[in-house]
Amino acid sequence: MVRLLLTVILLVLLTACGTIGLVPTSELVQKAIAFELEQTQQKLSQQLDLDFQGFEIKRLSISQEQPLTIENLPAFRVQGTYDLIVKLPKRSLTQPRKPFNLYLQIQQEGKTWRLLLPDKGSKDTQPIWRSYLIQ
């Protein structure tokens, strides 16, 4: 009985150690969301002549991590919600429970992650992915 229990514990530990770093973390997801927000913020600032002072991401909640393969490399579709605080010169705007849907891909060497964005021009064919280094 003791031997069985030790075997089960050892298998759980080995399995956990083998997957560390292969699943997107909350920190990585937050960096990817921040990257997308910065891109949007820059476009809005230019088009509307707004003076953004920055933003803050709070209460990030990941509801689903779906493993998949994109262009022959492992990737994840990550979904969930977060609270966004947009800082303007005289006030802050809060948007609670904003949904997100990200595609994150670990690179071949297993050290870096990239945010994948499908090209909006490819609707009928296989999507063409734009890739941005996150970590």
pLDDT score of 110: 82
Q: Tokens in use for 122?
A: 């490819």
**pLDDT per residue as tens digits for the range 57-104:** 999 999 999 999 998 889 999 999 999 998 888 889 999 999 999 999
The rounded distance, in Å, linking the Cα atoms of 84 and 45 is 17
3 versus 115: which is more confidently predicted?
115
Q: List pLDDT tens digits, range 6-60.
A: 444 544 444 444 444 488 999 999 999 999 999 888 877 777 777 778 899 999 9
**pTM value?**
0.76
pLDDT reported for residue 27: 96
Closest CA to 78 of 25, 128, 12: 25
pLDDT at 39: 86
From the CB of residue 37, how many other CB atoms can be counted at a distance below 10 Å?
17
